[in-house]
Amino acid sequence: MQIFVNNPDFIVEDMLKGFAAAHPEVMLSPLNERVVTLKEKKEKVGVITGGGSGHEPAFLGYVGEGMLDAVAIGEIFASPPAQAFLDAMIEADNGRGVACLFGNYAGDNMNVKMAIQMAEDEDIEVKYVVATDDIASSPKETREKRHGIAGGYFMWKVGGAKAASGATLDEVIEVAQKVVDRTRSICVGISPCTIPAVGTPNFLIDEGTMEFGIGHHGETGIENKALGTANEIAREMTEAILTDFDFDENRNLAVMISGLGSTMLMEQYVICGQVLAILKEQGHQVERVYVGNFVTSLDMGGLSLTIVDLDEEITQLLEADGQATGLKNY
């Protein structure tokens, strides 16, 4: 494996220094060098997240005006400790409470809940919502156990926009939960990823096969099967999500294709074109389309499909101004 690295054990620290140097509107918190925060504070509900490194531009890339106020950063594929979440809460707090919007993983759940207890001693009110969009990670009957993957973007965007509008903490939590409830995702992996400090793939996918429903850390999917054509894969992913939604009428939707790290934009647009054709064929109206690397998995080959069932409020908040630092339009 050949990558641009100094000491692979300190690649996260080097990344954070470079990120802060590249984006003058953010800084590494003086409380904790594993917390990225906006320099300019606004009088509003604070919105934060946190998670392991390796998913860039998530999570640090979504700090920005109208988005997240602070983010706790863990080691590669590892939850930030409770102290980092607490320090992110402190950085984001302006006396109106903090919404912590994060992915549904065991380590994050444990550390966020510990941090919330610690925040009580700082007189900071914190409420949380967990993203549960990964339909492959648990059956529909136990949706609350599902992991959060690329669909977390919509939770951060909608929650951040609601907070920027002057909403209360309860209102931010309510709309964040609403968009979580209306979001579904699934991933397909076609090649493994490699943690820099390890240097070898952390799982294997045989040539000519794909892992349908793979997790963002290489968790086993629904099925390992022969690699199909792009159109076949797009149809299977789309139908899996629509089956989970089980719509009884035509809907207005948002669609996101997110590469997992090493998948070319060329491939992503091939998949996107077929997904949109299938949705149109079934009578749905696609209002917003996102294509690119939004939540990745190091250098994994593959992509995720996310579909959001829109309503008027969610649509308006997605259209609101937001400046995700890691997704700047230069």
329 — pLDDT class (breaks 50, 70, 90): low
**Backbone phi, psi, residue 316, to 5°:** -65, -40
Q: What is the mean pLDDT of residues 112-136?
A: 98
pLDDT band with cut points at 50, 70 and 90 for residue 1: confident
Can you give the residue ranges of every domain in the chain?
10-181, 183-310
Sign, CA dihedral 162-167-170-171, equals negative
Q: How far apart are CA 292 and CA 330, in angstroms?
A: 16
Q: List the one residue out of 116, 141, 120, 145 whose CA is nearest residue 133.
A: 145
pLDDT at 330 over 70: no
Which among 23, 55, 147, 216 is annotated as catalytic? 55
CA distances 236 to 131, 223, 243, 265, Å, are: 23, 12, 10, 20
Q: Which CATH number fits domain 10-181: 3.90.1150.10, 3.40.50.10440, 3.40.50.300, 3.30.70.360?
A: 3.40.50.10440
**Is the per-residue pLDDT at 267 higher than 90?**
yes
Residue 140 pLDDT > 70: yes
Can you read off the two tokens belonging to residue 257? 């294709």
Write down the residue that tokens 């992991």 correspond to: 147
Residue 46 phi, psi (nearest 5): -80, 145
* pLDDT tens-digit series, residues 9-45: 999 999 999 999 999 999 999 999 999 999 999 999 9
Active site residue 55: yes
Whether the CB-CB separation of 29 and 70 falls below 8 Å is answered with yes
Q: Per the residue annotation, which of 23, 147, 216, 217 is the catalytic one?
A: 217
pTM confidence score: 0.97
Active site residue 147: no
Fold of 183-310: Hypothetical Protein Tm841; Chain: A;domain 3 (3.30.1180)
Say how many CA atoms lie within 13 Å of 248 toward its Cβ: 0
Residue 125 has pLDDT above 80, yes or no: yes
